[in-house]
């Protein structure tokens, strides 16, 4: 079993932790031009591996070793993101220690990389969406439509999300932080991809009386990032759930009222921002009628804090988060059927800050 610092789920839990991994202002032009790639925050979002754990692996195992910008910020390549996705999935599937998995791969691959396709592992985010993003930021919408169709050919909707849409949305935000894109180019990417998500959601919508349950989703007050909510909407709908999307920037009291009046099976909220996250967790703690799931970029570094308030964290890519939600929901339902109360913290935890970069 891994030590806490090796665990994929470990990481700093203070409010400063997630905020520190992304600059409060875009990076300088020298950084953007000299070292393109994914920031540690983006890698954490794409892989479900906390920022703290990535640093521990870098020190302890010499993997992954990112490039550095002129100002010292870590930048990871698309290949490293793909490799980390494979490592995380193999780790979860085999229950091997991280050190053993990495050592085993290094024995067979002296460059420290992974096989092109580890057995039973679906490749995650790589460079598939790069061409699409280039077309969008260049304003070539017709070309982007053709490229999107080419990329999606033969893929199931969940693979479209995993390999094209989710990496594209992350790159839009990261490109803005790197100052690779002004705001209008970031919007060209996100508006296009959100439109595709809406289309997929409508195409897969169905009224199935045998559906697993009803899921209320959205974001909390102050968080206007819609991408994660739409991704969850689509993948849970594909898994047979009826989804009630309440949109973004909604106070927790509205979710409490929705749970009471609509009687859903579960509530799932996306947290892209970590601002006031402890306060939101405190507010969500009072919702005990259904399990409350929390996901999104910020949750990777706040999993222990979320559990302390009786919430269920869903870190990592949406491909992994959706089945995890179902499994945790079944466990929660079984505990209720057996007469057990859903686990709640005996006392409110204290957030601990940590420097993230």
Q: Which of 123, 153, 171 is the last residue of a domain?
A: 123
pLDDT of residue 53 exceeding 70: yes
**Helical axes 183-204 vs 141-152, angle rounded to 10°:** 50
* Residues 176 and 230 placed together within one structural domain of the fold: no
Answer yes or no: is 83 within a domain.
yes
Answer yes or no: is 254 within a domain.
yes
Range of the domain at 321: 208-337
Answer yes or no: is 349 within a domain.
no
- Exposure string of 266-293, with b = 16+ CB inside 10 Å and e = fewer, is bbbbbbbbbeebbebbebbbebeebbbb
Percentage of residues in the chain with pLDDT exceeding 90?
41
Q: Which of 204, 233, 258 is the last residue of a domain?
A: 204
Report which listed range, 166-170, 267-271, 298-302, 336-340, is most confident.
267-271
Please report which confidence band the pLDDT of residue 84 belongs to, taking 50, 70 and 90 as the band edges.
confident
**260 or 19, greater pLDDT:** 260
* Residues 246 and 317 placed together within one structural domain of the fold: yes
Window from 100-104, 232-236, 350-354 with minimum mean pLDDT: 350-354
Please answer whether residues 318 and 235 qualify as being in contact, where contact means their C-beta atoms are separated by less than 8 angstroms: yes
121 contact partners, CB below 8 Å, separation of at least 6 = 86, 89, 90, 93
Answer yes or no: is 284 within a domain.
yes
Q: Residue 74 pairs with which residues in a beta bridge?
A: 68
At 348 the pLDDT is 40
The torsion angle over the Cα atoms of residues 301, 302, 303 and 309, rounded to 10 degrees, is 180
The mean per-residue pLDDT over the stretch 169-183 comes to 82
Residue 198 CA to residue 205 CA, distance in Å, equals: 10
Please answer whether residues 17 and 301 qualify as being in contact, where contact means their C-beta atoms are separated by less than 8 angstroms: yes
Residue 175 CA to residue 182 CA, distance in Å, equals: 8
Answer yes or no: is 9 within a domain.
yes
- 235-292 confidence digits (pLDDT tens): 999 999 999 999 999 999 999 999 999 999 999 999 987 889 999 999 999 999 999 9
At 21 the pLDDT is 34
Please report which confidence band the pLDDT of residue 219 belongs to, taking 50, 70 and 90 as the band edges.
very high
pLDDT of residue 97 exceeding 80: no
Percentage of residues in the chain with pLDDT exceeding 70?
75
Supply the pTM of this predicted model: 0.68
> From the centroid of its chain, how far is CA 350?
24
Please report which confidence band the pLDDT of residue 32 belongs to, taking 50, 70 and 90 as the band edges.
very low
Residue 158 CA to residue 226 CA, distance in Å, equals: 18
* Residues 246 and 147 placed together within one structural domain of the fold: no
pLDDT of residue 300 exceeding 50: yes
Q: What is the CA angle 166-203-129, rounded to 5?
A: 25
At 194 the pLDDT is 95
Total tally of structural domains belonging to the chain: 3
Residue 165 CA to residue 242 CA, distance in Å, equals: 22
The conformation of residue 216, written as its DSSP 8-state character, comes to E
Q: List phi, psi (to 5°) of 166.
A: -65, -50
Residue 342 CA to residue 41 CA, distance in Å, equals: 31
pLDDT of residue 89 exceeding 70: yes
* Residues 198 and 212 placed together within one structural domain of the fold: no
pLDDT of residue 223 exceeding 60: yes
At 72 the pLDDT is 83
266 contact partners, CB below 8 Å, separation of at least 6 = 213, 214, 215, 216, 290, 291, 292, 293, 325, 329, 332
User: What is the domain-level CATH number for residue 329?
Assistant: 3.40.50.280
Please provide the average confidence, as pLDDT, over all residues in the chain. Answer: 78
At 87 the pLDDT is 83
At 91 the pLDDT is 73
CA-wise closest residue to 234 among 225, 250, 248, 245: 245
* Residues 169 and 249 placed together within one structural domain of the fold: no
pLDDT of residue 117 exceeding 50: no
Residue 266 CA to residue 162 CA, distance in Å, equals: 23
């Amino acid at each position: 079993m891994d030590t806490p610092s090796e665990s994929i789920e470990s990481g700093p839990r203070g409010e400063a932790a997630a905020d520190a991994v992304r600059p409060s202002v875009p990076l300088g032009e020298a950084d953007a031009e000299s070292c393109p790639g994914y920031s540690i925050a983006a890698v954490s979002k794409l892989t479900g591996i906390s920022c703290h754990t990535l640093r521990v692996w870098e020190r302890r195992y010499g993997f992954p070793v990112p490039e550095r910008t002129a100002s010292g910020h870590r930048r990871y390549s698309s290949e490293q993101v793909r490799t980390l996705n494979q490592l995380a999935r193999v780790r979860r599937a085999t229950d091997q220690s991280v050190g053993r998995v990495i050592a085993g791969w290094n024995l067979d691959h002296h460059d420290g990389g992974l096989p092109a396709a580890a057995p039973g592992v679906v490749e995650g985010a790589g460079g598939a969406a790069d061409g699409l993003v280039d077309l969008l930021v260049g304003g070539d919408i017709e070309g982007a439509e053709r490229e999107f169709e080419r990329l999606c050919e033969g893929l199931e909707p969940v693979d479209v999300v995993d390999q094209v849409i989710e990496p594209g949305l992350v790159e839009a935000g990261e490109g803005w932080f790197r100052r690779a894109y002004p705001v209008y180019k970031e919007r060209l990417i996100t508006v296009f991809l959100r439109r595709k998500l809406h289309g997929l959601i409508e195409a897969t919508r169905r009224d199935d009386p045998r559906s697993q349950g009803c899921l209320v989703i959205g974001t909390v007050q102050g968080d206007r990032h819609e991408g994660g909510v739409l991704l969850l909407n689509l993948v849970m709908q594909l898994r047979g759930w009826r989804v009630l999307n309440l949109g973004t920037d909604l106070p927790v009291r509205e979710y409490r009222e929705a749970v009471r009046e609509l009687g859903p099976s579960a509530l799932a909220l996306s947290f892209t921002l970590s601002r006031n996250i402890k306060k939101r967790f405190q507010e969500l703690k009072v919702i005990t009628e259904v399990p409350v799931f929390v996901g999104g970029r910020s949750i990777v570094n706040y999993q222990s804090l979320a559990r302390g308030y009786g919430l269920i964290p869903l870190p990592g890519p949406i491909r992994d988060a959706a089945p995890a939600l179902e499994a945790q929901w079944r466990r929660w339902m079984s505990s209720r059927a057996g007469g057990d109360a859903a686990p709640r913290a005996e006392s409110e935890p204290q957030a601990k800050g940590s420097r993230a970069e």
